[in-house]
Structure 1
Amino acid sequence: MKGTEVIADGFGRIREVVHETVGGLSADRLNARIDPAANSVAWLVWHLTRVQDDHVADAAGLGQVWTAGGWEERFGLGLPAGATGYGQTARQAGTVRVDSSELLLGYFDAVHAQTLDFLRGLAAADLDRVVDERWDPPVTLGARLVSVLADDLQHAGQAAYARGVIERLG
C-alpha cells in the first residue's frame, strides 16, 4: 500500500466517525453544549472540516470548498471567510450554529471528496514537498496531511463523545 493510500484510508475513517456522529441529529442536539465552555458537535465537526479544507486546499493549490462551493453562504455564520475556528473563545465557538445535520455533512463530504481527489493524484515523492517554510524544520506535505488527520480524528472523537453525553442527558 502506498503512503498516499494509507493517508486516504485515514481520511475515510474520519468520514465514518463524522457520519456516525452527525447523522440523524436534530439542530438542537447538534448545537447543544454540555456546559457553557464545551464545544458543540456542530462546532467540532465544522471546525475539523474547515481545518481540513483550509490546509489541504492550500497544499494542493486549490480554492477552499467553503468559499468556492458556496458553503459559507449556506451556513450563514457571519464569520470572516477564512475563519476555521482556530483560536476562538468558548463564547465565539458558541455562535457557530448549524441548521441541520444534512448541511454539515454536505460540507464535510464536499471537503472529503476534494481531499481524496488531491490524494489520488499524488506520487509518493510528493509527500516530501515542503508546503510551509514558517516552521523549523519546514513542513512537508506528508507531515501536513498527518497533522490534519490527527487533528480531525481528535475532534471527531470529541464530537462522538459529546453526542453520547447529550443523548444520555436527553
Structure 2
Amino acid sequence: MKSADLLADAFGRVREAVHEAVEGLDPDDLAVRLDSGANSIAWLVWHLTRVQDDHVSDAAETDQTWTTDGWYERFGLPFSPAATGYGHRGRDVAEVRASADLLLGYHDAVHERTVDYVRELRNADLDRIVDEAWTPPVTLGVRLVSVIEDDMQHVGQAAYLRGAIRRR
C-alpha cells in the first residue's frame, strides 16, 4: 500500500464517522450542549471540517472550500471567513447551528478535495516542510496525520454526544 492510499483511507474513515455522528439528527439535536461550556455536535463537525479545509488547503497551496464554494455564506455564521473554531468560547459554540445536510455537505466537499489531493502525493512529498513555526519544523506527512488525529478526536466527541442525546 502506498502512503497516499493509507492517507486517503484514514480520511475516508473520518468521513464515515462524521456521517454516523450526524445523520438523522435535527438542528436542535445537533446544537445540544451538555453545559454552557461544552461543545455541540454541530460545532464539533463544523470545527473539524474547518481545520481539515484550512490545513489541507494550506499544504496544497489552494483556496479553501469554505470560501471558494460558498459554504461561508451558506452557514451564515457571525465569524470571519478565516475562523476555524480555535479559541472559541461557549457563546461562539452556541452560534453554530446547522442542519445535518449543511454540515455533511460541507464535510463531503472538503473530504473530496482532501482525497483528491492526498491520492496524488508521493512518499517523498511527505517530507516537505509546511510549517516552520515549530521546532522541529512540521512536514506535510506530520501535518496530515495531525489533521486526521484531531478529526478523529472531535468526531469521537460528537459520537459520544449523539449517544447521550439519543438516551434522553
Post-superposition offset of 1:3: 1.3
Post-superposition offset of 1:161: 0.3
The two structures have a TM-score, normalised by structure 2, of 0.98
**Residues in 2 aligned to 1:95 and 1:124: alpha-carbon distance in whole angstroms:** 41
Residue in 2 that maps onto 1:10: 10
Residue in 2 that maps onto 1:51: 51
Post-superposition offset of 1:38: 1.0
**Residues in 1 aligned to 2:58 and 2:43: alpha-carbon distance in whole angstroms:** 22
- Name the Cα RMSD after superposition: 0.7
- The answer for unaligned runs of 5 or more in structure 2 is none
Residue in 1 that maps onto 2:118: 119
**Residues in 1 aligned to 2:95 and 2:124: alpha-carbon distance in whole angstroms:** 42
Retained in 2: the 8 A contact 1:25–1:101? Answer: yes
Identity of aligned residues (%): 62
Give the stretch that moved more between structures: 5-14 or 66-75: 5-14
Retained in 2: the 8 A contact 1:34–1:166? Answer: no
- The answer for unaligned runs of 5 or more in structure 1 is none
**Residues in 2 aligned to 1:70 and 1:131: alpha-carbon distance in whole angstroms:** 26
SS of 2:166 mapped into structure 1:
helix
Residue in 1 that maps onto 2:60: 60
Residue in 2 that maps onto 1:30: 30
**Residues in 2 aligned to 1:107 and 1:92: alpha-carbon distance in whole angstroms:** 19
Post-superposition offset of 1:16: 0.7
**Residues in 2 aligned to 1:166 and 1:36: alpha-carbon distance in whole angstroms:** 16
Tell me how many residue pairs correspond in the alignment.
Answer: 168
Residue in 2 that maps onto 1:145: 144
Post-superposition offset of 1:87: 1.1
**Residues in 2 aligned to 1:15 and 1:120: alpha-carbon distance in whole angstroms:** 16
Residue in 1 that maps onto 2:70: 70
What are the superposed Cα offsets for residues 85-126 of structure 1, whole Å, 9 maximum, x if unpaired?
A: 01111221111111x100100000000000001011111100
The two structures have a TM-score, normalised by structure 1, of 0.97
Post-superposition offset of 1:167: 1.4
Residue in 1 that maps onto 2:85: 85
SS of 1:14 mapped into structure 2:
helix
4+ residue stretches of structure 1 with deviation over 3 A?
none
Post-superposition offset of 1:7: 1.2
